[in-house]
Chain A
C-alpha cells in the first residue's frame, strides 16, 4: 500500500494555488505508547490548497492534523508550518498555533464567555490587539458567518450549527494563514451541516489554505483540489477529487468509497 501512495503523489494544483509551501511534513511518525498511529507521513501543502482527508475511523486522520498545530506530539520526522520547524520549544509552538486556525468536532467554544468574548479573547491576549479593534474584527467575521445578532449571547444558547460557525469565526479572528478542520460537521444535524459547509465553501473561495478531515464527499468534490485517503496510519492514496472518486486505484480506497457512497 505504501508504494501506491508514492506513485499517486500528484503536484498539479488547480486554481489559485501558489508554489509557496504552507506545510511540509516529512517522514513523520507517531506512536501512542507502543501503538504506531502515523507511519512515514509525507505531505506538502501549498498555499491556497484545499485538502480533504478521509478514511475509516482510527486511520489517524485526526491525529495527523492535530500534529500540525502540536496538539499531539510526533516522535519522528519533521513538520514545518509556514517556514517554522515544529519542535518542543513552547515559543515556536505558540507561534505556529497563532498562525494556524483549528475547528473541532465539538466546537469547543468557551461556555463562560459570550460569543463576542470568545472571538476577541485570543486577539486581545495573544496578538495584543486593542479591545475596540478586536471587537470590530470579531463583528466583521461574525457577520461573515451570518450570526452578528448573537454576539452577546452565550454559546449554550446557540444551535450546534451556529456554534460551529462561531468557532470558525473565532479562528478567523486570529487572521490565520492556514485552517484545520477536524470533522467539523460530524456532530451536527443534516440541516446544520449545510450552513457550516456553506461557510467553509465561502472561506475556500477566498483562497484560504485548508486541511479538512471530513466525510462530506459532496464538499470534497466541490471544494477540494486534493483528496487524501488514509488507512492504518498511512496515506494510501491521494488525487484530484474528480479522479479520486471516479477512478480510485487502491482496493482499500475502492472498498471505502463503495461503502460511503453506496447508499
Chain B
C-alpha cells in the first residue's frame, strides 16, 4: 500500500505553526460553567431549580443562625430578646458549654485534666496515624493510656503504675518464652501480668494516700462529649487488634480456635448493641465474683469493643480472602514462620484492602457511643436529653442542642474519613 500512494502521502512540514490561545469560551470559569451547569437545556433548568432550592434553604436557616442569641440565661429570656424576630437561642450552648463537654458532675476546677489528656491524645496518636514521624514517639504512645487514665480518673498514681508494670512484666515473660512457642509466650505473659496486678492490688490498697496528688473522680461523674470521645478512642483502639486476632483465628486450621472465633463473631453480630449495653449495665455483674466491683465504664468498653471487633474481624477476613494464595505460598517458601508471614506479608496487605471497611465501622462505633445514654450514662446526647432539656430554663431548645451535637460528631467523623482517604493514597504502591 505504501508504495502505491507514496506520492500523495509524502509530506514534509517546513514552517512550524505557532501556538495560539484557546477561544475564550473554552477556558477558565466560562468553560467550567458551560460544561457542568449549562451543557444542555435540561441541564440548565436543573441548575436553576437547584439554585432556587439552595436559596430556599439558606433564606430559612441563615437568618436563624445569624440572628442567634448567645448571652441570655434561659429560653424565655431568649424569646424576650428576639421579640418575635427569627433567631436561634444559642445561649444554651454558651451557658451549658462545660456540661455539654464534661457532663454535669465532673468537678469544674478539674476540667484542665481531661483537656490536657485530649491534647496529649493528639501527640500520642500522631506516630500511629502518620508513620513518617520518628518511631521514638511511640514510647509516649505506649505510656499514654496510663497517663490519660491517671489524668481523667485521678486517685493514687500507684494504680496506673501497677497497671503499666503488669503490662511490662507480661511483655517480658512473653518475649522470653515466645521463642519456644507462641502459646507458651502468650499465656505465660497473661499469667505474669495477672500476678503483677494481683500483688499490685494489695500494694496500692495498703499505700493509697489519703490525699492523692490528683483528686479521684469516679466513673459515674464522667459525661458529655468527653465520654463519647473516651469510649470511641478506647473501643476503636482495642477492637482493631482484637478484630485482627479474631479474623486470623477464624482462618486457623486448629478446630478449637476456629470454633471459638466463629461462635464469638456470629453470636455478637446477631445481637443488637443496645442489648449488649443493657447486659453491661445490669447483668454483667452476675458473671463477675461478688466482691469484684467492675466499673460501669469498663463494662461498657468491654461490650462495645466486643461488638465492633466482631464486625472488624469480618471486614479483615474479606481483606485476607482478597489476597492471592501466592502471597501465602511465597512467604512460606522463604521459610517465614506463621507469625512473621502474617505480620510482614499478609496483614499489611489485607489491612490496606480493609481500610474503607474498618473506617466505616470505626465511624459507626463512634456514633454508637451515644447509645450509652439509654443506660443512663450522661454522654453528649444523654446530657441534652436529660439534664439540659429537662431543666426549666432550656425546656424546648431542640434544634440548637441537637444541631450542635450533630456538628461535633460530624467534625470528628469527617476527620476520620479524610484521614483514611489520605492513608489509602499513601499506601498505594501496587500500581495496578
Binding site for B on A (CB under 8 A): 69-71, 90, 94-95, 97-98, 100-102, 104, 106, 108-112, 121-122, 125-126, 154-157, 170-171, 174
Contact = CB atoms under 8 A, between A and B. Distances in A.
A112 B431 CA distance: 10
A137 B94 CA distance: 66
A170 B429 CA distance: 19
Nearest to A155: B430
5 contacts: A90-B338, A98-B335, A157-B431, A170-B334, A174-B335
Interface residues of B, number: 24
B221 to A, nearest CB: 46
B335 A71 contact: no
A155 B338 CA distance: 23
Contacts of B86: none
Interface string B360-371: 000000000000
B340 A125 contact: yes
Contacts of A109: 330
Nearest to B340: A125
Nearest to B427: A112
A126 B344 CA distance: 12
A174 B335 CA distance: 9
Interface string B291-332: 000000000000000000000000000000000101101111
B333 A71 contact: yes
Interface in B376-432: 427, 429-432
Given A108-B329, A112-B349, 19 more contacts: A69-B332, A71-B333, A97-B332, A97-B335, A98-B334, A101-B333, A102-B333, A106-B324, A110-B327, A110-B345, A111-B349, A111-B429, A112-B427, A122-B334, A154-B431, A155-B430, A157-B431, A170-B334, A171-B334
Given A104-B326, A121-B344, A125-B340, A111 B430 contact: yes
Contact of A108 (B330, B349, B352, B432): B330
Is chain A's interface secondary structure helix, strand, loop, or mixed overall? mixed
Nearest to B334: A122
Given A97-B334, A122-B334, A104 B349 contact: no
B257 interface: no
B429 A174 contact: no
B430 A125 contact: no
B330 A154 contact: no
Given A104-B326, A154-B431, A174 B352 contact: no
A69 B335 CA distance: 9
Given A104-B329, A125-B344, A156 B335 contact: no
Given A121-B344, A125-B344, A156-B431, A108 B335 contact: no
Nearest to B326: A108
Contacts of B109: none
B53 interface: no
B336 interface: yes
B352 A112 contact: yes
